[in-house]
Amino acid sequence: MSEPPNAQEPRQPLHARLRQNPYGPRPGESPPYLAGRTSQIKEWARPVRRLIDSGRVGAPIFFTAPRGLGKTVLLRELQTHATDAGFVTAWVTANAVESLVGALLASVRSAIANTMRSEAAGLLARLDMIKLTAGLPGVLQLEASTRSSDKIEVSFTAELAALARALADKGATGLMLFVDELQSAPSEDLEAIVPALQEWTAAHNAAPLMFIGSGPIQLSRVLAARGGFAERFQYVTLERLSDLDSMSAFTLGLPAGFQWLPGAVDAAVGAAEGHPYMIQLIGHYAWEVSDSSMIARPFFSTGDIGVAVERAGGEIRRVFEGRWADTPDAERRVLAVVSAADQAGLSRRQVADEAGMPFREAESAVDRLYANGWLDVDGLERVRIGLPGVAEFVNRRQQ
Ligand SMILES: Nc1ncnc2c1ncn2[C@@H]1O[C@H](COP(=O)(O)OP(=O)(O)OP(=O)(O)O)[C@@H](O)[C@H]1O
Ligand SMILES: [Mg+2]
């Protein structure tokens, strides 16, 4: 039998009764519902299945997309699935100043220490001795702990494969490495890792080991430049969400009983144009302006969405105001012609022609604008404005 309510119990203070905003508009922040990524999750699940069945190294997978389309949150979702499946997982967000090999080893180390506890000691001692040797593709140095002058060279692949096997011996399913923003890693690290990844795929090593990376659409070019045959890796692209998936992204994962009044979902889906970042931004502001934090206000109206879309647009404009000042003339010209085009966008050749620029110059302007989030480049060819509201902003600046 349940306890009768206690009349003496103090009322909860207001802040404790407020419902938290469920949307996640910050970069890498998980959404209430990860919509429209089933096919990409399957692309990952298939080789994982093979790895578990055969005990052999899984081919690396790289997820690529323009900014804000959901690479980080997809990788986080896969990491959760990998952990559920019994993998020890390591996560690194690569950057230009920190050694990627070093960061990966540190992350593997702490993952083992956290998940394997007492069984981990022997594995950790060996990991401590590995250092990256500059200039030798795929080769790492292992220092004997007693005298630092005693160094032997080992392959990155062989070390990680041995570690994955040792983890499996101690009851884990294997080892899975996640590297977000792979393109940002220092070139000497990429020159060590990329050939090693190729080698581990080609050798069909018997080790439960897998590598997952993410980066912008140019990632295949970046990796090719660092290691030869990187074009042969598996690349999986994330696109904008369909209207149906956008609807799921807006409406699923909210508190039970939460409602959208007639017309509100359509208005929100229409304004976000399938962009996951816009969806979270609009959802976030709709929650705030509608006072949905209060239990007594469990719905969004079209009016709430209208105000939220305006605020989301304002936020986007603030971000791009800051970037505009640093945008050179050639890039502004390219932005002007793409902003004037319709939703279908322009080919790179059309961009050059309409901006009256040599093809190469237009092309490098497009690449820089893409890297800075102004433009999307579908399939490396179709050039469009990256976010709703940006075209309007550019058109106004051009007047
Ligand atoms: N499938 C999805 N469904 C709903 N929301 C999503 C989805 N994917 C991403 N988001 C939301 O979109 C925003 C951007 O996601 P994320 O930071 O993962 O993008 P990204 O591709 O890593 O961007 P960047 O290139 O800037 O690192 C976040 O607010 C996230 O919650
Ligand atoms: Mg990211």
Residue 61 has a pLDDT of 95
Give the number of the atom of ligand 1 that is nearest the alpha carbon of residue 34.
3
245/230 same-domain check: no
Cα 34–Cα 107–Cα 92 angle in degrees, nearest 5:
45
Q: pTM of the full predicted structure?
A: 0.88
Residue 145 has a pLDDT of 47
What would the 3-class secondary structure string for the chain be?
Answer: CCCCCCCCCCCCCHHHHCCCCCCCCCCCCCCCCCCCCHHHHHHHHHHHHHHHHHCCCCCCEEEECCCCCCHHHHHHHHHHHHHHCCEEEEEEECCCCCCHHHHHHHHHHHHHHHHHHHHHHHHHHHHCCEEECCCCCCEEEEECCCCCCCEEEEEHHHHHHHHHHHHHHCCCCEEEEEEECHHHCCHHHHHHHHHHHHHHHHCCCCCCEEEEEEECCCHHHHHHHHHCCHHHCEEEECCCCCHHHHHHHHHCCCCCCCEECCCHHHHHHHHHCCCHHHHHHHHHHHHHHCCCCCCCCCEECHHHHHHHHHHHHHHHHHHHHHHHCCCCHHHHHHHHHHHHCCCCCECHHHHHHHHCCCHHHHHHHHHHHHHCCCEEEECCCEEEECCCCHHHHHHHHHC
306/342 same-domain check: no
Does a structural domain hold residue 201?
A: yes
Domain that holds residue 300: 14-23+241-322
| Beta carbon of 276 within 6 Å of any ligand 1 atom | yes
Residue 327 has a pLDDT of 93
134/147 same-domain check: yes
Q: Whose C-alpha lies nearest to ligand 1, atom 14?
A: 68
| Domain CATH code at residue 367 | 1.10.10.10
- What's the CA gap between 206 and 58, in Å, rounded? 10
Domain end position, chosen among 237, 255, 284: 237
165/261 same-domain check: no
Residue 1 has a pLDDT of 43
Q: Choose which residue among 23, 71, 73 to substitute to test ligand 1 binding: the one with the highest number of ligand atoms within 8 A of its C-beta.
A: 73
Does a structural domain hold residue 335?
A: yes
Does a structural domain hold residue 199?
A: yes
Does a structural domain hold residue 279?
A: yes
60/201 same-domain check: yes
Domain end position, chosen among 322, 356, 371: 322
Does a structural domain hold residue 86?
A: yes
Specify whether the CB–CB gap between 277 and 68 falls below 8 A: yes
- And the tokens for 73? 């949150």
| Beta carbon of 32 within 6 Å of any ligand 1 atom | no
144/158 same-domain check: yes
How close is the Cα of 31 to the center of ligand 1, in Å?
8
The contacts of residue 205 (CB under 8 Å, 6+ apart) are 56, 57, 157, 161
233/255 same-domain check: no
Low-confidence ranges of the chain (pLDDT < 50): 1-3, 144-146
How close is the Cα of 28 to the center of ligand 2, in Å?
5
57/168 same-domain check: yes
Does a structural domain hold residue 9?
A: no
Residue 150 has a pLDDT of 62
Specify whether the CB–CB gap between 382 and 375 falls below 8 A: no
User: Which tens digit of pLDDT belongs to each residue from 28-64?
Assistant: 999 999 999 999 999 999 999 999 998 888 889 999 9
Specify whether the CB–CB gap between 25 and 284 falls below 8 A: yes
Number of domains in the chain: 3
How many residues are recorded in the chain? 399
Half-sphere exposure of 225 (CA within 13 A, CB side): 9
| Domain CATH code at residue 230 | 3.40.50.300
Domain end position, chosen among 295, 322, 349: 322
Ligand nearest to C-alpha 67? 1
207/63 same-domain check: yes
Does a structural domain hold residue 83?
A: yes
103/214 same-domain check: yes
Give the number of the atom of ligand 1 that is nearest the alpha carbon of residue 26.
29
Q: Residues lining ligand 2 (ion), CB within 5 A?
A: 71-72
336/191 same-domain check: no
Q: Choose which residue among 277, 279, 370 to substitute to test ligand 1 binding: the one with the highest number of ligand atoms within 8 A of its C-beta.
A: 277
Does a structural domain hold residue 142?
A: yes
| Beta carbon of 284 within 6 Å of any ligand 1 atom | no
| Beta carbon of 279 within 6 Å of any ligand 1 atom | yes
317/332 same-domain check: no
